[in-house]
Amino acid sequence: MNLQFFMPTKIIMGDDCVIKNAEILKKLGKKPLIVTGSRSAVLNGSLKDVTKALTENGQEYAVYDKVMSNPTIDCVYEGAELAKSENADFIIAIGGGSPMDAAKAIALLASQDIKREKLFSGEYEEKVLPMVFIPTTAGTGSEVTQYSILTNDAAKTKTTVAAPFLFPDVSFLDSKYMESLSKTTTINTAVDALSHSVEGYLSNRSNVLTDALALEGISIIAEEFENLKNFTLTREDRSKLLYASTLGGIVIAHTGTTAVHSMGYSLTYFKDIDHGRANGLLITEFLKLVEKEKPERIKTLLTAMKLKDLAELEKIIMELLGEKEKLTEEEIMEFASIAIKAKNIANCIVIPTEEDLIHIYKTVFDL
Ligand code: NAP
Ligand code: FE
């Protein structure tokens, strides 16, 4: 058996885990830059918990709260400038995937000079500020990945900054922060988490350990389909979704994502469709393509979800996501031509052609 597994992030999950483990923040540095979005961290209490823990430790802090959804290159350079001018010696990210991804790039750019044209090159010194992550959505798994996904206008898509030393040092998982999530964001992020484990399970970089974690994540999310649809999630259900999304993150940290994510980036970049929703719209058609060559792998996924076939999965996902957006033929051709160039296309056990991508977009969007 061949196996490699690397997960350097310390994961601490539980009620009030930030406050209960405040001393960890003291060990990481003198003064953090807190990186977050504009509103939600105030509303869900996560920012208050962090600032209380820091104040009790006698630590100063600065806040960069300008991270938008699908963070831009300008945003991460601005955040890094603030980290430097405030002499921050570590980073605390609070929020969904957007602030968490931005925080990794900020931690990198605050510790070394990287020209904009080299940002996605992977040519970095192994130097980064220590990072503490606090997810407030249960979806991206960014709290346990080495990826920072940024809007890349030059390539008209989203591109990943990745390096093995970009894993956060510590991630605090407290599902109480998710109780303020809207139904739409809860569903979209849960579908993103599902997509990570499904794509990881179908990756040619998967191994026995990532498969085990992927199937566990998939079955937990499937058990919550009904609660997601009716929006009847208890705190316990939210904890399960958070746990499953972290499992999905650990999976893709090893396997990468596949064509679903590359195709989804075009939907987000050009049509402003939420990241998780974009993946959800595309995933079943992609699974149908894989099923033709690897039916046994798809059967195992369906068994983990207690479903009989992909048609049943499609019905559930479409009930969760509601009415689809409209695309033109011209848009589909452009989106497919961009998606086929993404690195993660090569990760799947069935590598799609550009024609396959066109077929998937057309089938999903009824063209
Ligand atoms: P997001 O863009 O981080 O946040 C979406 C919205 O939810 C924002 O308006 C945010 O408000 C709000 N929000 C966050 N937490 C909330 C809470 N607890 N209560 C109420 N509202 C809350 O969404 P996301 O789906 O988590 O992240 C998507 C990003 O992650 C994309 O850029 C995607 O490419 C990336 N991603 C990264 C990885 C990875 O491995 N690194 C994997 C998958 C996806 P505020 O702006 O006010 O905070
Ligand atoms: Fe994702």
Query: What sections of the chain are H helices per DSSP?
Result: 17-20, 22-28, 40-43, 46-57, 73-85, 97-109, 183-201, 208-223, 225-230, 235-255, 259-271, 275-293, 295-304, 310-321, 329-339, 354-364
Name beta bridge partners: 171: 11, 133
CA distances from 357 to 174, 300, 354 (A): 38, 24, 5
Q: For residue 261, what are the contacts with CB-CB under 8 A and spacing of at least 6?
A: 195, 199, 279, 342, 344
- What pLDDT, on the 0 to 100 scale, is given for residue 329? 97
Tell me the best of 185, 239, 246, 247 to mutate to test the pocket of ligand 1, counting ligand atoms within 8 Å of each CB and taking the most: 185
d(CA 122, CA 19) in angstroms, rounded, equals 35
pLDDT in tens, 8-31: 999 999 999 999 999 999 999 999
- What pLDDT, on the 0 to 100 scale, is given for residue 2? 84
* Closest to 116 measured CA to CA, from 70, 90, 163, 78: 78
SS3 label, residue 203: strand
**Ligand 1 atom 15 nearest Cα:** 136
- What pLDDT, on the 0 to 100 scale, is given for residue 116? 96
Tell me the best of 69, 159, 344 to mutate to test the pocket of ligand 1, counting ligand atoms within 8 Å of each CB and taking the most: 69
The atom of ligand 1 lying closest to the CA of 40 is 47
Q: In this structure, are residues 267 and 278 in contact, taking their beta carbons and an 8 Å threshold?
A: yes
- What pLDDT, on the 0 to 100 scale, is given for residue 283? 98
Kindly state the average pLDDT of the residues 273-297: 98
Does residue 1 surpass a pLDDT of 90? Answer: no
pTM: 0.98
Of the pLDDT bands very low, low, confident and very high (cuts 50, 70, 90), residue 257 is: very high
Closest ligand, as measured to the CA of 267: 1
Residue 69 alpha carbon to ligand 1 centre in Å: 6
Q: For residue 83, what are the contacts with CB-CB under 8 A and spacing of at least 6?
A: 33, 62, 64, 91, 106, 107, 110, 129
pLDDT in tens, 125-184: 999 999 999 999 999 999 999 999 999 999 999 999 999 999 999 999 999 999 999 999
pLDDT in tens, 337-355: 999 999 999 999 999 999 9
Q: For residue 138, what are the contacts with CB-CB under 8 A and spacing of at least 6?
A: 175, 178, 186, 189, 190, 193, 238, 241, 242, 244, 245
Query: Is the beta carbon of 145 within 6 A of some atom in ligand 1?
Result: yes
Tokens matching residue 255: 């396997």
Of the pLDDT bands very low, low, confident and very high (cuts 50, 70, 90), residue 247 is: very high
Query: Is the beta carbon of 142 within 6 A of some atom in ligand 1?
Result: yes
SS3 label, residue 18: helix
What percent of the chain is modeled with pLDDT above 90? Answer: 99
Please give the mean pLDDT across all residues of the chain. Answer: 97
Residue 186 alpha carbon to ligand 2 centre in Å: 14
Reported as type and span, the H/E element at residue 11 is strand 10-13
pLDDT in tens, 190-245: 999 999 999 999 999 999 999 999 999 999 999 999 999 999 999 999 999 999 99
Residue 277 alpha carbon to ligand 2 centre in Å: 10
Query: Is the beta carbon of 133 within 6 A of some atom in ligand 1?
Result: no
pLDDT in tens, 308-334: 999 999 999 999 999 999 999 999 999
Query: Is the beta carbon of 167 within 6 A of some atom in ligand 1?
Result: no
d(CA 205, CA 157) in angstroms, rounded, equals 24
- What pLDDT, on the 0 to 100 scale, is given for residue 335? 97
d(CA 249, CA 96) in angstroms, rounded, equals 13
CA distances from 336 to 26, 130, 340 (A): 48, 38, 6
